[in-house]
Structure 1
Amino acid sequence: MDLDRIRAARHAIDPLFLDTPFYECGPLGRRLGCAVSLKLETANPVRSFKARGTELVTSLLAGGGGDAVVCASAGNLGQALAWSARRRGIRATVVAARGAPAAKLDGIRALGAELQLVDGDIEDARERAVRLAAQRGVRLVEDSLDIETCEGAATIGLELAAGPPIDAVLVALGGGAMATGIGYVMKALRPEVEVICVQPAGAPAMTRSWHARQVVTTDTIDTIADGVAGRHPIPEVLDDLLAVADDAVLVEEASIRAGMRHLLDLAGQVVEPSAALGVAAVREDRARFAGRHVVTVVCGSNVDPAAYRGWVGH
């Protein structure tokens, strides 16, 4: 990645997705025993950070790179790509697992993308997307591997770096685009800030890979945090992550649910499980963060209402 390109990326991204709310949440901090600030990447038309990257991808396509695009998605990338493609007259096809949250699948359809469903999980969707893009001869967007998805997410880091002093930033870790993007900017502009990646214990592949310093795959996924539930880390992304992340930790499902409840009760935020990973990490290791100022990136709020009520107990 490159700081000049990341700064230039802001000009290609619709301002609707930039300068999202960033504030210290006193009630949440008092509950967790440290100062906690929230970066709300949910306050936009697709309710996740993913459009920062899809805006870059589709701006290049609209500039002569093609009129169609395909991606695999757990839901949020698909909605973001559909939104960005529709406003530029580009045909988008999204491949998703049949069991993905209905709210995310409905959102993809509503934004005008062609939606193809496959049995299995996100890794099976990726295999179908690769074949489909090759058959049609169109651009395949591979989240975290395509540099635009990382540089789009890195613009979050620019906004954090321009803010008040912080001690650590907690980033949900899935494919790695957000973690590598934010991590790169923080290490370039605010190297004193600890970059901590957080992943569910039920989907630990990238975290295990970070600790082993080589790709570790898993056979199964068992987590409610569908947005970060991959099994096969991308080697190039792992290399980038190793260069910018200070730590990678795993959290339990009970802590994720508790984090969602804290964000609802203390911050008034309805979030999907992936967005609660940072709060979960603080809950599980309060001594590590005591007295410090931490930022957690609230990365998505596309959640099925019935499932959400079950998880938070409201």
Structure 2
Amino acid sequence: MQETRLDIARIRAARRVIDPIFLDSPLYRCEALEPGLGCTVSIKLETANPVRSFKARGTEVVTSLLADHGSRAVVCASAGNLGQALAWSGRARGLDVAVVASRFAPAAKLDRIRALGATLELVDGDFEMARARAAAVSRYDGIRLLEDSLDIETCEGAATIGLELVDGLPSVDAVLIALGGGALATGVGHVVKACAPEAEVICVQPLGAPAMTHSWRQRRVVTTDTTDTIADGVAGRRPIPAVLDDLLLVADDAVLVEEASIIAGMRLLFDHAGLVVEPSAALGIAAILEDRDRFAGRHVVTIVCGGNVDVGAYRRWVGGAPIPRS
């Protein structure tokens, strides 16, 4: 495999600084899902931790380094999950954490950021506007800007999930990974391709937020003017060039799925796995629903990457969603 920015030795070292509460998340075959999907399905569950997403694996690495170097403050832009994770990790290490987010982000995520002690600033725009504002705060206040996916620590923290996957599943045909900014996809993808190259790495993104998928397909950065998806956690418009370069080396495919399939995936995970997940976490199931023939008879693992969702919105989405048939 050609070289990405990531390094297996650093990924293994990351496990030593990540709080064990975020490590060795449940990995299990979910037989109840299989009759409806037509394939063997294993779940890597990244919601059973204090911030209910995989993001703290990266923020633990970042804040450990900051604390070791005497830094006192850090700022990030967040769609919600990164902000919670940074607030949790920063608080544990005595750092002042500032988070910039869209005021249209799910209220449950914003409330949790505040509850964890971070300073929260809201902007009247989407995640890209929050990203620009966080950069301005960093410059003005002279504090560290954490840029998810661009900062290699966020990718290598997420990559520890990949180590657990290849150690826990001796044989797997495909790994389905939610694709947003790219930390999860490049991190897990790097480990899978290095340690289990026979497995197919498939990234999944909503049709309403396709920038990174279009960029992967065209092998150049492609931006969009807007996004339109309930999967707020992956709704970026401007891919980071260095992250795209890594993704091009580790992803075998990138696919787009409909909103109806995302909702149907959330419903399946609730009905048959007992899991309440946010839309981004159902992208892997959505991909199977939209292309059953591709996955028929194969062993597929999907990373359930987050469970932070507004209860009211969840009830509206999942209450009566039809399950698409191929």
Q: Which residue of 1 aligns with 2:201?
A: 195
1:95 is the counterpart of 2:133: no
Deviations 1:52-92 (A, max 9, x none): 00000000011024110000000000000000000100000
Q: Which residue of 2 aligns with 1:147?
A: 152
Alignment partners' CA distance in 1, 2:140 and 2:278: 34
Alignment partners' CA distance in 1, 2:136 and 2:285: 38
One-letter amino acid of the counterpart of residue 147, structure 1: I
Q: Matches of residues 296-311 of structure 1 in structure 2 within 5 Å? A: 296-311=302-317
Q: Which residue of 2 aligns with 1:313?
A: 319
One-letter amino acid of the counterpart of residue 28, structure 1: L
Alignment partners' CA distance in 2, 1:231 and 1:61: 29
Q: Matches of residues 95-114 of structure 1 in structure 2 within 5 Å? A: 95-114=100-119
Question: Which has the higher mean CA deviation after the structures are superposed, 99-108 or 64-73?
Answer: 64-73
C-alpha displacement of 1:103:
0.2
User: Which runs of 5 or more residues in structure 2 are unaligned?
Assistant: 1-5, 321-326
Deviations 1:203-258 (A, max 9, x none): 00000000000000000110000000000000000000000000000000000000
1:52 is the counterpart of 2:57: yes
Q: Matches of residues 1-314 of structure 1 in structure 2 within 5 Å? A: 1-164=6-169, 165-313=171-319
One-letter amino acid of the counterpart of residue 165, structure 2: L
Question: Which has the higher mean CA deviation after the structures are superposed, 158-167 or 269-278?
Answer: 158-167
One-letter amino acid of the counterpart of residue 300, structure 1: G
Q: Name the SS of the counterpart of 2:129 in structure 1.
A: helix
Runs of 4+ in 1 over 6 A off after TM superposition: none
Alignment partners' CA distance in 1, 2:35 and 2:116: 40
C-alpha displacement of 1:125:
0.0
One-letter amino acid of the counterpart of residue 293, structure 1: H
Q: Name the SS of the counterpart of 2:69 in structure 1.
A: helix
Q: TM-score, normalised by structure 2?
A: 0.96
One-letter amino acid of the counterpart of residue 108, structure 1: I
C-alpha displacement of 1:306:
0.1
Alignment partners' CA distance in 2, 1:6 and 1:185: 9
Alignment partners' CA distance in 2, 1:259 and 1:116: 32
User: Which runs of 5 or more residues in structure 1 are unaligned?
Assistant: none
Deviations 1:264-283 (A, max 9, x none): 00000000000000000000
Q: Name the SS of the counterpart of 2:68 in structure 1.
A: helix
One-letter amino acid of the counterpart of residue 94, structure 1: V
Q: Name the SS of the counterpart of 2:94 in structure 1.
A: coil
Alignment partners' CA distance in 2, 1:65 and 1:127: 26
- Number of equivalent positions: 314
Q: Which residue of 1 aligns with 2:323?
A: none
Alignment partners' CA distance in 2, 1:59 and 1:104: 23
Q: TM-score, normalised by structure 1?
A: 0.99
Q: Name the SS of the counterpart of 1:143 in structure 2.
A: coil
Question: Which has the higher mean CA deviation after the structures are superposed, 278-287 or 57-66?
Answer: 57-66
One-letter amino acid of the counterpart of residue 116, structure 2: L
Q: Name the SS of the counterpart of 1:221 in structure 2.
A: coil
Deviations 1:21-62 (A, max 9, x none): 000000101210000000000010000000000000000011
RMSD: 0.6
Alignment partners' CA distance in 1, 2:251 and 2:219: 12
